[in-house]
A and B are shown apart, each in its own frame.
Chain A
Amino acid sequence: MHLGIEVGSDAITMAALDSSGSLAGRATMTDTSITEGLNNGLARLTSAIIESVSCVVIAIHDQVQAGQLQPTAVLRLSGPAHPALRPLAAWPRELSARIGTCVETIRGGATLAGTSISDPDLRQVADLARRATDAGVPRIAVCGAGSPTRPDLEESCAEAITSVAPELSITLSHTLGGSGLRDRENAAVLNAALRPWAAAFSETLEETLKSHGIHAPVYVARTSGGAVVLEHFRQFPIVCIDGASGCLFAGAAHLANLSDAVVVDAGHDGIRSVILESGRLPTRPESSYDSAIRMSVAEVAYEQLAWKDLNLGPFPPHHLGPPARSEPRNRHLNLAAALMLGSFNSPMIVVGPRAMELAPELGPEYALFAAAVGAARSPVRAELERVIRVDETRTLAQALAQAQEDAVNLSVEAGADRVTIRIERLEHAPMSYLPPGFHRVAVGAAGEPKSARSA
């Protein structure tokens, strides 16, 4: 039995799926605290379900508020940048203030082709680590220019930091991946700053689940789909801050037994929609934190629109008239209108709190439990992105094979059962304007979660 739990700001929902994927039990609570909600929800599931839980997957949304960001030291390894492009320069003042002032750029890093900008002065790196410790900041984010090609430069900084401040929690940007120094740096800083929240959240989860006799491995859904084991989440919380969205869309497809569909999430404030093709959710390589900070963390590529901007008339949808003519560039309205009119060839599934108003025939599980169902069905997933160089010493086939092997190992670290892991995605393209042989490579690997039995 896989137990999926959606943890939202105002409700906790649970769905237990048996080995055939059927909904065996469900609960929804609107308690004020996570602990209370979990306790009361778990108490509503039958003891038979509780006893047979082999895997728990948590899907989070609306949990990571600005107040959860903790002070973090920031080390950028690069050449000098325009003031508007320096670390945290594009952050809203109230968020950068939370990170603090232990922020420094040290000359170093590399170009995308791997050429060193200059050898970093590791004494300066160590000095920053000491200053962070002295200031009571126990964590640091390190982001080096060119780290998709030269991760070793960040690793040498980590060694220098650990040598003088072994207690510092370190996030290296290349471990999160992504192109673009600033987006990767933002992801690394946010990741480091959220680790205390992730640790506290994980502890609450584990204690509560254990108190109900659930000792199965616990996973947390990723924002881009799939899940990672709780220990991995503690290290990389930034990749899980909105796992519920992907779970919602995937859960809807599972409930409807469809792999090609338009899925519409009818929320309180507006709609979100996505087109599911061959069971695959579209993703985009970057997202934003608090709608303000761009970061190289992939997310499910849904479209959204506020109800007030829809102008489509009253419910239910078969009473809708034609939508107001819109400017062609208003993609949201066009998409929403097309969705509402059912003009896509694919069938439409409506989920979310207002699903019953739009499509009552689908049933309440679509309205309330789709995200929990999607969580329970989540595979364990790992993504790898890097820049590789092909030359006389290494063919492209060899480099891609290495990348796939590394992605499989990342999946195992993320909690996948090794024998079930498959490569879902392998993309590569020669890079323009760099010397011949440089390729951008992205690999996605997924496997089944280790169950209590296999763990």
Chain B
Amino acid sequence: MNGQYIPAINTDNLDAFARGVRRFTTGIDEAGYQAALDWARAEVTARSVPLLRLNDLPRGSFCSLSIVGSAAALSELLPEGNEALRAIRTLERWVGTEFQGIVPLNCSGENPLISAAAAAASGKPLVDGDGCGRVLPLLEQTTFTLHGISVGPIAVATPMRDDLILDAPATRIEELIRPIVAAAGGWAIVACYPMSAEQLAMAGLPGTLSNALRSGHPDFGPDPLVSRTLCRGTISGIEYPIQSIAGQPRSSAAGTLPSAPVSILISESAEPRSHLRLEAHNEIFLALADGRVIASAPDQILILNPRTHEVINLENLTVGEPVHVAMVPAASPAWKTKQGRLLMQLSGHAVEGFYNLSEDTMNEGAP
């Protein structure tokens, strides 16, 4: 079964799919992930989910699906199971068309599992692709946006049974949606990026779900995920800015970002015994070794458990903990274009100077 076409997500490959998508995360809440997996398992057992290739889409409209908020909140305020369907139906009613399929916003952690559950429950196929190639913190940080497709209108379905439509400029969406998520208990499902099959075929990143499947089990083909070790060491410090410690509102510079910035200091355990400094805000966007940049977004910087090689959630780091730091190349060249980097800056404002310094190395070609 080396790298062959994978026609469906079903009970035979769901576990491999689940293992694969967790390898694309920047951190995982185990209880939230298991809840999403059990939800998906129940739905996929009842009905398998056809996978549509991006170059073979039927005519018609599609939408993207995503969880917004935290998986930790989902594991506490469990889904009733109809949230994704409600979001899809609400958006269908608003735009006046029935979607021919669902494309996950990203291919990481809970999101593709929930998309698979929604596809099974709705009887719609799932598109073998996504808009990130990994996971990014803001709804508009997608290759769909890079191709001029608007994130809105957005349908929001909360676990409190609220259904909302946000029909607003893309630049307002995050600011509007975060308070809604907080009021809804910390998570919600959104259906967004209503688009035509042609738009999706042009803007989506192809094959990312089947890649995840291959990453989850060698039976489905060679592992597509390559990484480079940046450091093996021990966490020597974790620093939060004073406003997040004091519980003050996040600075306006941070905009509506859903998490607090954090700096992680790591002492390398072997020669050259460098001191690493990782800067994170939702994701790790910069790695410095003794003051020298060794990796930065849009490449993905991950902190791994050295025993299990699982990604460690940034909220669960502890001083004295042994870790590996690895870098996974950006999922798509689109993220290394000027437009891609500018879009990435929305969640990494602190690295703006670095981006500017590096601009001469950018690929200027638009996607």
A residues contacting B by CB (< 8 A) are: 78-85, 89-90, 111-113, 115, 117, 145-146, 148, 179-183, 275, 277-278, 280, 282, 285-286, 294, 296, 301, 303, 327-329, 331, 335, 389-391, 395-396, 425, 427, 429-437, 440
Determine whether the beta carbon of A79 is less than 8 Å from that of B42.
no
Determine whether the beta carbon of B307 is less than 8 Å from that of A429.
no
Determine whether the beta carbon of A286 is less than 8 Å from that of B307.
no
Task: Report if B70 contacts A (CB, 8 A).
Answer: yes
Contacts of B309 in A (CB 8 A): 329, 331
Determine whether the beta carbon of A335 is less than 8 Å from that of B307.
yes
Contacts of A432 in B (CB 8 A): 70, 72, 258-260, 282, 315
Complex CA gap A335/B34 in Å reads 25
Contacts of B35 in A (CB 8 A): 85, 180, 182
Contacts of B7 in A (CB 8 A): none
Q: If the complex has contacts A85-B78, A111-B77, A112-B76, are A433 and B186 also in contact, measured as CB distance less than 8 A?
A: yes
Partner pick for A429 among B29, B78, B81, B315, CB 8 A cutoff? B315
Contacts of B183 in A (CB 8 A): 115
Determine whether the beta carbon of A111 is less than 8 Å from that of B185.
yes
Task: Report if B356 contacts A (CB, 8 A).
Answer: no
How many residues of chain B are within 8 Å of chain A by beta carbon? 58
Partner pick for B80 among A82, A115, A280, CB 8 A cutoff? A82
Q: How many residue-residue contacts, CB under 8 A, span A and B?
A: 172
Determine whether the beta carbon of A436 is less than 8 Å from that of B78.
no
Q: If the complex has contacts A111-B73, A433-B73, are A294 and B34 also in contact, measured as CB distance less than 8 A?
A: yes
B299-334 vs A, Cβ < 8 Å mask (1 yes, 0 no):
000000001110000111110101000000000000
Known A83-B81, A89-B38, A113-B186; 14 more pairs at CB < 8 Å: A82-B39, A82-B42, A182-B35, A277-B234, A282-B307, A390-B246, A395-B246, A429-B316, A430-B315, A432-B315, A433-B182, A434-B70, A434-B182, A436-B260
Question: Shortest beta-carbon distance, B15 to chain A, in Å?
Answer: 14
Of B32, B77, B245, most A-chain CB atoms within 10 Å: B77
Determine whether the beta carbon of B31 is less than 8 Å from that of A286.
yes
Question: Shortest beta-carbon distance, A80 to chain B, in Å?
Answer: 5
Task: Report if B249 contacts A (CB, 8 A).
Answer: yes
Contacts of B185 in A (CB 8 A): 111-113, 115, 117
Contacts of B73 in A (CB 8 A): 111-112, 433-434
Of B70, B72, B181, B243, most A-chain CB atoms within 10 Å: B72
Complex CA gap A390/B245 in Å reads 8
Question: Shortest beta-carbon distance, B307 to chain A, in Å?
Answer: 6
Determine whether the beta carbon of B76 is less than 8 Å from that of A179.
yes
Complex CA gap A327/B214 in Å reads 13
Determine whether the beta carbon of B247 is less than 8 Å from that of A391.
yes
Partner pick for B258 among A90, A294, A390, A433, CB 8 A cutoff? A433
Task: Report if B240 contacts A (CB, 8 A).
Answer: yes
Determine whether the beta carbon of B315 is less than 8 Å from that of A440.
yes
Determine whether the beta carbon of B78 is less than 8 Å from that of A112.
no
Across the A-B interface, the 4 shortest Cβ-Cβ residue pairs: A180-B31, A437-B247, A82-B81, A111-B185
Chain B contacts with A in 63-87, Cβ cutoff 8 A:
69-70, 72-73, 75-81
Contacts of B70 in A (CB 8 A): 112, 431-434
Q: If the complex has contacts A432-B70, A432-B259, are A84 and B75 also in contact, measured as CB distance less than 8 A?
A: no
Complex CA gap A434/B259 in Å reads 8
Q: Which residue of B lies closest to A274 (CB)?
A: B307
17 examples of A-B residue contacts, CB within 8 angstroms = A81-B79, A83-B81, A85-B78, A112-B186, A113-B186, A145-B76, A179-B72, A180-B76, A181-B77, A277-B322, A282-B307, A294-B31, A331-B307, A429-B316, A430-B259, A434-B186, A436-B243
Q: If the complex has contacts A182-B35, A390-B246, A433-B259, are A78 and B80 also in contact, measured as CB distance less than 8 A?
A: no
Determine whether the beta carbon of A327 is less than 8 Å from that of B218.
yes
Contacts of B81 in A (CB 8 A): 81-85
Contacts of A183 in B (CB 8 A): 31, 34, 75
Of B30, B76, B159, B308, most A-chain CB atoms within 10 Å: B76
Contacts of A391 in B (CB 8 A): 247
Of B32, B79, B282, most A-chain CB atoms within 10 Å: B79
Complex CA gap A113/B244 in Å reads 16
B32-61 vs A, Cβ < 8 Å mask (1 yes, 0 no):
101100110110000000000000000000
Question: Shortest beta-carbon distance, B183 to chain A, in Å?
Answer: 8
Contacts of A146 in B (CB 8 A): 76-77
Contacts of B174 in A (CB 8 A): none
Of A80, A115, A328, A430, most B-chain CB atoms within 10 Å: A430
Complex CA gap A327/B309 in Å reads 13
Contacts of A286 in B (CB 8 A): 30-31
Q: Which residue of A lies closest to B32 (CB)?
A: A180
Q: Which residue of A lies closest to B178 (CB)?
A: A433
Determine whether the beta carbon of A436 is less than 8 Å from that of B247.
yes
Determine whether the beta carbon of A83 is less than 8 Å from that of B42.
yes
Complex CA gap A165/B76 in Å reads 28
Determine whether the beta carbon of B186 is less than 8 Å from that of A111.
yes
Of A78, A115, A148, A285, most B-chain CB atoms within 10 Å: A115
B151-171 vs A, Cβ < 8 Å mask (1 yes, 0 no):
000000001100000000000
Complex CA gap A117/B160 in Å reads 8
Task: Report if B250 contacts A (CB, 8 A).
Answer: yes
Complex CA gap A112/B259 in Å reads 15
Q: If the complex has contacts A390-B246, A433-B73, are A85 and B320 also in contact, measured as CB distance less than 8 A?
A: no
Determine whether the beta carbon of A113 is less than 8 Å from that of B182.
yes
Partner pick for B31 among A179, A431, A434, CB 8 A cutoff? A179
Q: If the complex has contacts A85-B38, A180-B31, are A433 and B69 also in contact, measured as CB distance less than 8 A?
A: yes
Determine whether the beta carbon of A80 is less than 8 Å from that of B307.
no
Partner pick for B79 among A85, A328, A425, CB 8 A cutoff? A85
Q: If the complex has contacts A112-B185, A432-B70, A433-B70, are A79 and B320 also in contact, measured as CB distance less than 8 A?
A: no
Task: Report if B17 contacts A (CB, 8 A).
Answer: no
Task: Report if B223 contacts A (CB, 8 A).
Answer: yes
Question: Shortest beta-carbon distance, B56 to chain A, in Å?
Answer: 30
